[in-house]
């Protein structure tokens, strides 16, 4: 309780931003850091239409969703559910954008052909993040050429995904350094 200049007792405290804090709990650092990560790696690139960066950052969505669930169970903060909805909406936007790009390639690449093709829209099938990153770095293994995923590299990428403040660029650099012969 604080005293105002006119002598009235005030039940809230003011902070330097001029906002009242009516018994609010302080947000734990891990939640604050997760929110900053979501804003920096998902929301801001989406607003500025940085599609390459968005595709690179989508590999971290599963870990973010797991953390949001865990933190919600621990702290019961309703805004964590909002962030989970934002992640779900982001996944839908990214899938729609991918399908649109694929559709445009099919439509515009069929110029000069004398037949009509039918395009059926389905939901996109995604690989696990470690396989998606492997494909982004090395390309998809070609079964007809007896190429397969390197299990050691997949395990390395999976461990790298668990690190805090990791990015696609950092994982790619580490993989190329540790597996130069692939």
DSSP lists the bridge partners of residue 116 as none
- Between 18 and 74, name the one with better pLDDT: 74
List the chain domain ranges: 28-123, 127-182
DSSP 9: E
Phi-psi region of 135 (alpha: psi -120 to 50; beta: other; left: phi over 0): alpha
The reported pLDDT for the residue numbered 125 is 80
Over 80: is that where the pLDDT of 3 sits? no
Residue 26 CB coordination number (10 Å): 7
Confidence of residue 164 (pLDDT cuts 50, 70, 90): confident
| Concatenated DSSP letters of 85-111 | HHHHHHHHHHHHHHHHHHHHHHHHHTT
Rounded Cα gap, residues 89 and 97, in angstroms: 12
The reported pLDDT for the residue numbered 82 is 93
Rounded Cα gap, residues 20 and 49, in angstroms: 36
Per-chain mean pLDDT for the chain: 83
């Amino acid at each position: 309780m604080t005293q105002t200049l006119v002598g009235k007792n005030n039940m809230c405290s003011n902070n330097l931003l001029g906002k009242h804090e009516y018994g609010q709990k302080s947000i734990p650092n891990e939640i604050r850091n997760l929110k900053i990560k979501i804003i920096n790696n998902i929301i801001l690139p989406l607003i500025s239409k940085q599609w390459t960066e968005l595709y690179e950052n989508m590999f971290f969505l599963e870990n973010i969703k797991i953390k949001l669930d865990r933190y919600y169970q621990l702290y019961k903060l309703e805004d964590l559910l909002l962030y989970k909805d934002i992640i779900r909406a982001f996944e839908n936007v990214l899938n729609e954008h991918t399908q649109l790009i694929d559709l445009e390639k099919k439509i515009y690449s069929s110029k000069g052909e004398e037949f009509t093709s039918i395009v059926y829209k389905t939901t996109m099938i995604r690989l696990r993040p470690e396989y998606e990153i492997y494909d982004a770095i090395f390309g998809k293994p070609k079964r007809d050429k007896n190429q397969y995923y390197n299990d050691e590299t997949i395990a390395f990428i999976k461990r790298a995904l668990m690190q805090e403040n990791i990015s696609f660029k950092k994982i790619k650099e580490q993989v190329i350094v540790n597996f130069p012969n692939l």
